[in-house]
Structure formats: structure tokens, C-alpha cells
Amino acid sequence: MASLTLPGFAEGLQLSGDWEGTKKPNIVFIMADDMGYGDLGCYNKDSKIPTPNMDRLAAEGMRFTDAHSPSAVCTPTRYGVLTGRYCWRSRLKRGVLNGYSPALIDTRRMTVASLLKQHGYATACIGKWHLGLGTDKKTDFNKPLTPGPNALGFDYFYGISASLDMPPYCYIENNRPVDKPTLTTEAGKASEDGWWRAGAIAPGFRHVEVLPRLTEKAVEYIDNHTGKSPDRPFFMYFALPAPHCPIAPADFVKGRSKAGGYGDFVVEVDWTVGQVVKTLERNGHTRDTLIIVTSDNGSPARTKVKREPYSIIEIYGHYPNGNLRGIKADIWDGGHREPFIARWPGNVPAGTTSDQIVCLTDLMATCAAIVGVELPDNAGEDSYNILPAMLGKKLNKPIREAIVHHSSMGMFSIRQGEWKLIMGRGSGGFSSPKIYKPKPGEPKGQLYNLEDDFAESRNIWSEHPEIVKQLTNLLEKYKEQGRTRPL
């Protein structure tokens, strides 16, 4: 098959599927947990948090300004990232799993990891899983934890079952706990802002050590892999447990931000990104690695869980979600518009931005394009190849026809160009009112024009019945046909 070298590709890197004699790029996908659009200096000049490592990646790569997680909370976003399919098509229609939930992803389904593995990649998942383990109604940590990441295309897994505030608190390596969670912890605090649920814990497990330990494992993986198989590309899905609560910054970052413990924890996230970047450099992987840094949903923007959702803003004047409306879990953009930085020297033009509307579900089709294959029809149903945007190609039209947003309570929204339609009133998530029941004659939903009204402050549903109708029909079509990516 004749191969086509695309403009912008480094010498020797091609994009046709004809990779013989060339090395495919390593792909490192780092996803923070609950980090907001306004936490990073490169997204918010008024951020009170120094993020030099992420800012450097943005300066050396591309910063997307209109990237979205497919959901405003953890589990469904992770499902979407790994399968390229919206999670509301799965059994999970709202909310998240817990640390003992059975596996959510069908093992027959293609994942980004199984796709890349088929094409010669070594694959690793490090960090927070939160997609369920095993088949029992309540996972038994005395039995092999399968199916888990290893059954979904990952050669190696080291991490934790779910969020860092959800038991059981133990590290898992492949399909077994490193130490079984045989003890019990009360609900606890890791700092003035820390909080976790009571439950089972492994001897010696300390919440504050988790991010440094996972960072060490990520570094170790890159070093070991390169030592053993320097010519084999790898995919690392590195899902950080931070800055999600318990806000547990390590001592070495305390006081480094001007946004309290939360800000310091974001500093630690930035440190982790820096460690990965340094390790890639040390192993000679700077130029042959696509690194993406993003977050799984917006920031809850809080210090004290459930009581003072806006206290980071009130106390420190730091806006974790920038000027966006809403917070984590909400259908407004604060719930799901994410920082998204891509660096691949020689391929992704340095110091650029893209305003393409992209979704984290797009990782699947983008990886397929990188390895030069077509996705089968029954995989990546909501995944679009965003590589052309990453490579800085001039595009005449949007890559995605539209994007579907989803809140923690299962509220839908569809966005096309400047128009954003929300199928309900209220936030659908954490912000008040969560659900507003319209009185007779009041609009049933929300329509915003994000070009004129970035902050989603003027509901113009009643003024544009034709747009409401058109977007409602498109959303219904997307639900019914089981996919958005065209066949």
C-alpha cells in the first residue's frame, strides 16, 4: 500500500498504515481527576496555582480551548475515554461506580488499549481505575480481580480500584491487591481539606502517599519498558487520583500555591506531569511520544465537601473552572470543558491553540489514525479522529458534527457550533438548583449561544424554536442509532 507522508509529520513518520520500517509513536495519556479549566496558568492568566510543567507542554504543543469530557463525573468519562463510546449507552445511565462495583466495560468491546496492543504496542494502565472489577455484585478482594484492566487490553495495571475517597483503600497490581485491605479505617482526613469514606484499608496504606507512589510507578514503567524493548512503542494511560478529594498534598508541595490545599494538590499534579516528561526525555522519547494532558471533569471548586462548594473562590479568589458556569457534575460547561494539551514535537505545531470542539471519546479514533487503521463499526461509536486538528492542518469544517454532554444526574445536552441545547432546567449535577421543574408556559430546557454568552447566562430557548427542534431531533437520532461516528 502506498503511503502518504502528511505535512507536519517528522521525518520517517507516516500516516497511512504503512509503518514498516518506522516506529509508531508512544502515546502517553495523563488524565487528572477533577482538575478544572481555570486551574492551569496556560488556560487562566489569573490562576493562583503555578503549573510550569503543564504550561511548558502547552508552549511546546497545542492547547485545545473547546475540549470536553463526555460526562461531568468520573466513571462515565473513563468509560468514554477507553471505549470511544458515550457511557449513557452502557448500563450506567447516571452517577458513578464505587470501589466494589463489577466491571462496566464488556470484555468483548475494543478499547484504546486493545486496539494499540493489536498493533504492536505495550500497554499500561496506571492509577485510578473506577470502571469496576470482577463479575460479582460486590467485588471480593480475596479473589482474582478479573475482568479488570488486563482483560481490556492492558498488559500491565498498577493502581487503585476507584476514587481515593472510596474504599477499599489498597494498591492493585494486575489482578491482585498488593496488600489485601484487611483493616478498617474511619472516615478520615488527610489535611484540612481531606476527606474519605470509612471502610476497608490495607496495612500501611496512606492516602497522602498515593499520587507520589503512582508517579513512581509511571516513571518505573517507562524506564523498564525502554530498557527491555526500546524499539517497541508503548501506550500509557495514567489516570491520576488528584486533585479529587481527599485533598492530600504531599509535604513537598505544601504552600506552593495561593489557593490552599486544593491549589497545592494541583501543584502536585503538575509535578507528576513534570516527572513523566523528564522520564520521557531521559529515555530519548521526547520526539517519538504523543503526550496528552487533560482532566476527567470540571473542578468541584471546593475545600469542604458538600458544605462550601465555592469556598476556593471565596477564600482565595481562585477560579478553578475559569469563567465557565457551573462545577463538576453539572451540565454547564464548568462540569465538562477541560484543559487538553497535546505535545508531539515535529508533528503537533508548538505554541498553538485549537478551537475545534473535541471530546475525550476521540482518543480511540485518533489512535486508530495514528496506527493507520479503520475502526470496526462496533467500536468507538462516538469517537472522531482529531489528529488533523492536532497536526495543525487547515480544516474547512468542524471534525465533529456535534457533541453530546451528560451530567451526573443524567441530564443531556447537545452542542453544535455556537449553540448549546440542554434538555432540562437546572444544573443536573451539584450546583443549585439541580433540577428545576418549569411552571406552565416556561421553557422546558435551556438554549445558549456560547459565542455571545460564554457564561451560559441568558436562556434563549423560547426565542429560537427552530434551533431547539433541530438539535432535539439530532440528539434523538444519536440516541436511537447507537452511534454518532458516521459509518
In the bound state with Ca ion, the residue whose beta carbon lies nearer, of 233 and 298, is: 298
- Position closest to Ca ion via CB: 74
Closest separation in Å from C-beta 240 to Ca ion? 10
Note every long-range contact of 133-136, with CB atoms under 8 Å and residues 24 or more positions apart, other chains counting. Answer: 133/101, 133/102, 133/103, 133/161, 133/172, 134/102, 134/103, 135/102, 135/103, 136/102
Closest separation in Å from C-beta 126 to Ca ion? 16
Closest separation in Å from C-beta 34 to Ca ion? 4
Contact 99, 427 (CB under 8 A): no
In the bound state with Ca ion, the residue whose beta carbon lies nearer, of 245 and 280, is: 245
Closest separation in Å from C-beta 35 to Ca ion? 9
Closest separation in Å from C-beta 235 to Ca ion? 21
In the bound state with Ca ion, the residue whose beta carbon lies nearer, of 32 and 421, is: 32
* Other Cβ atoms closer than 10 A to 444: 12
CA dist., res. 357 & res. 400, Å (int): 7
What are the C-alpha distances in Å from 291 to residues 57, 161, 256, 317?
Answer: 9, 24, 25, 31
Helix (H) or strand (E) run with residue 275 in it? helix 260-282
In the bound state with Ca ion, the residue whose beta carbon lies nearer, of 51 and 163, is: 163
Q: What share of the chain is helix, strand, coil (3-state, %, to 5)?
A: 25, 15, 55
CA dist., res. 292 & res. 29, Å (int): 5
Q: Which residue reads 509503518 in cell numbers?
A: 19
Contact 67, 340 (CB under 8 A): yes
In the bound state with Ca ion, the residue whose beta carbon lies nearer, of 166 and 475, is: 166
Closest separation in Å from C-beta 21 to Ca ion? 41
**Beta strand pairing status for 419-422 and 122-128?**
unpaired
In the bound state with Ca ion, the residue whose beta carbon lies nearer, of 47 and 297, is: 297
In the bound state with Ca ion, the residue whose beta carbon lies nearer, of 248 and 390, is: 248
**Beta strand pairing status for 26-32 and 337-343?**
unpaired
Closest separation in Å from C-beta 150 to Ca ion? 23
In the bound state with Ca ion, the residue whose beta carbon lies nearer, of 60 and 296, is: 296
Closest separation in Å from C-beta 112 to Ca ion? 19
Closest separation in Å from C-beta 165 to Ca ion? 11
The HSE-up count of residue 301 (CA atoms within 13 Å, CB side) is: 31
Closest CA to 247 of 215, 299, 275, 207: 207
In the bound state with Ca ion, the residue whose beta carbon lies nearer, of 74 and 145, is: 74
Note every long-range contact of 441-448, with CB atoms under 8 Å and residues 24 or more positions apart, other chains counting. Answer: 445/421, 446/420, 446/421, 446/422, 447/419, 447/420, 447/421, 447/422, 448/419, 448/420, 448/422
In the bound state with Ca ion, the residue whose beta carbon lies nearer, of 74 and 222, is: 74
- Burial class from Cβ neighbours inside 10 Å (0-12, 13-18, 19+) for residue 410 reads middle
Closest separation in Å from C-beta 97 to Ca ion? 12
CA dist., res. 158 & res. 409, Å (int): 30
Note the residues at the interface with Ca ion (CB under 5 A).
33-34, 74, 296-297
CA dist., res. 273 & res. 32, Å (int): 10
Using only the alpha carbons of the chain, give its radius of gyration. 21
